[in-house]
Structure 1
């Protein structure tokens, strides 16, 4: 059973690496964005609530996100195989809520994988994707928000002796191998 959180700035490769580990080891990959879209599509109560914020172009509040994550972590596949969280938590408040949830579910975190990639590499990667909304100005704004809201989680999880920092630049297979090693998995 794998119980891990992937942390890192936008464009660090969290989604790519989380999907690779999830596919190889049969562990549910829980992406906040995917869960929100699924909850909205399925018309769950929390999904309907999230949709009201999304339709107005607003961020979905912590309590709604936390509720949706709680629902997902309570599903049978997670109880059986664990989880890889990608995009949650994003703040200390969310991390504390996750701690409480996992304690209630008796599923303590194994590790927090922090993919460290410098800002210039992030800008280069995201510009290379060629998305219209990925201008250098927007990317740098997202990095600023990340540093303000999410970067404090690095110290939070480091103090709990859960954080493993992996340099997220280089060969994708080599980065995956480093993550597997950090999680105590066979390559």
Structure 2
């Protein structure tokens, strides 16, 4: 039922001409350890708007001393798949409470599944926003694992790290392929210094 409704919305999306607003929607994608949050902060400083970190939101949700908080905490500890309602709730909450309408929005750590990317496309269209553009920070898994082991964040357990890397291979690569098919993917070499990565992003987006 959900997939039928989604396909119907996508057909309508392709048939309509959307009313554009000034704000743009960027999604910074990449394997854990690729520097998504750092580059999103650089981009936010350059263009303004809102930064929406799905990862930060989920970690905040996991601290809630209730049923949902405990569920999310267990899922994050495993490094596995969370149901689509979790990131979508975070996005809706931010859009409803913080977005006036014409600001740019920068997503990090999501969407991480094709279904989420499709829903975000429909959501932006319904709000009159231009279709999201994905910025992929390409990084070898070996390098990502080394970075994650070195940073030692609270939830960077060996089990969680391997779960995130596996999740990327099984799901996020499909999201990257989705945006590539749509012609809305910018691929950046993430295996270089953060300044060099930012230089390449600025060049790709024509930011001075």
Q: Is the 8 A contact 1:50 1:60 kept in 2?
A: no
Alpha-carbon deviation of 1:107?
Answer: 1.1
Name the structure 1 match of 2:71: 53
TM-score by length of 1: 0.83
Name the structure 2 match of 1:112: 134
Question: Partners in 1 of 2:182 and 2:197 — Cα distance?
Answer: 23
State which drifts further: 175-184 or 160-169. Answer: 175-184
Name the structure 2 match of 1:30: 52
- The counterpart of 1:93, out of the listed 101, 104, 115, is 115
SS in 2 for 1:80: coil
State which drifts further: 2-11 or 101-110. Answer: 101-110
State which drifts further: 61-70 or 88-97. Answer: 61-70
Alpha-carbon deviation of 1:25?
Answer: 2.4
Q: 5 Å matches for 1:66-145? A: 66-77=88-99, 79-131=101-153, 134=156, 138-145=160-167
Q: Is the 8 A contact 1:49 1:64 kept in 2?
A: no
The alignment's C-alpha RMSD in Å is 2.7
Question: Partners in 2 of 1:106 and 1:10 — Cα distance?
Answer: 31
TM-score by length of 2: 0.75
Name the structure 2 match of 1:156: 178
Alpha-carbon deviation of 1:148?
Answer: 0.2
Question: Partners in 2 of 1:102 and 1:80 — Cα distance?
Answer: 12
Q: Is the 8 A contact 1:29 1:83 kept in 2?
A: yes
CA offsets 1:58-99 (integer angstroms, 9 cap, x no match):
365212421321231244546232100001101011111111
Distance 1:65 1:136, change over 3 A: closer
Is 2:203 the counterpart of 1:181? yes
SS in 2 for 1:100: helix
Question: Partners in 2 of 1:173 and 1:107 — Cα distance?
Answer: 30
Q: Is the 8 A contact 2:113 2:171 kept in 1?
A: yes
SS in 2 for 1:4: strand
CA offsets 1:18-68 (integer angstroms, 9 cap, x no match):
011112322211001333456688x9xxxx77425225x136521242132
- The counterpart of 1:4, out of the listed 19, 26, 41, is 26
State which drifts further: 63-72 or 157-166. Answer: 63-72
Unmatched 5+ residue regions in structure 1?
Answer: none
